[in-house]
Amino acid sequence: MELDLFSYFIFILSAFTAGFIDAIAGGGGLITVPTLLAMGMPPHLALGTNKLQASLGCLAAAIKFGLSGLINFKEIISGILFTFMGSFVGTRVILHLDAGFLRYIIPVMLVAIFIYTIFSHKVGESDKKAKLKPAIFWVIFGFSIGFYDGFFGPGTGSFWTFSLVAILGLNLKKAVANTKALNLTSNIVSFATFAISSNVLWKVGFLMGTAAIIGAFLGASLAIKREIKFIRGVFLFVVGITILKLIFDIIFK
């Protein structure tokens, strides 16, 4: 696939912006995937290339959050395992099926998350009692969200953050931090699966990944320093944009 310097500039700019936003509240794929598709990249190649850059960006954010003490890897190891399994199955399925039917379901779920977060003013401000035993939570949500990320993807970070806050009782800052580690898992598994099937444009992926690392590091640094209300505001913004993007795709595609 022939690309000019302008195309590479657009790819790098989109990856930096996506990495920054994704580190705070998820949703980076809403920027990078449409950019890759708009530049003429075939769908599966765009998804595989995006998973490479997203994996690098998530890795940078996870390291930053981990070093700050906001991620306890011992507590989420089960989640990482089941996310790994779910993402592998989901990616294998999408290589053979059309994920179009999910376009009609996901916006409804995201609208529910958006409304709940708006009207629950204190949601995520502090740790709460878990509504489900962690062992059960990780099996159900680890596999299902991992599967979703491998199969379709948009809104994965939002689903993880919301689930960790509403079901497991984490405060919003911890939830965002843990989301990066879990999202990193599904991204890497999905990327590897796409790579094995030769659906990755390596040069573009690594260039975007480098930009995503810088953006993610800066975004994670900002999230660590700022109050939970700031993260909540960015989270609502990202979920809102995700909803509008998916509805736009339903109407005009």
Q: Where are the domains of the chain?
A: 5-252
237: number of Cβ within 10 Å? 14
Using N-to-C axis directions, what is the helix angle for 5-25 and 156-166, rounded to 10°? Answer: 10
Rounded Cα distance between 240 and 242, Å, is: 5
pTM, rounded to two decimals: 0.82
Tokens 């994670």 belong to which residue? 220
Q: For residue 78, give every residue at least 6 positions away whose Cβ sits within 8 Å of its Cβ, in sequence order, or none.
A: 134, 135, 138, 139, 142
Contacts of residue 16, defined as CB under 8 A and 6 or more positions apart, other chains included, come to: 211, 212, 214, 215
pLDDT digits (tens, 9 = 90+) for 159-195: 898 899 989 999 989 999 999 999 999 999 989 988 9
pLDDT, tens digit (0-9, with 9 covering 90-100), for 11-61? 999 999 999 988 988 778 878 888 888 888 888 788 889 999 999 999 999
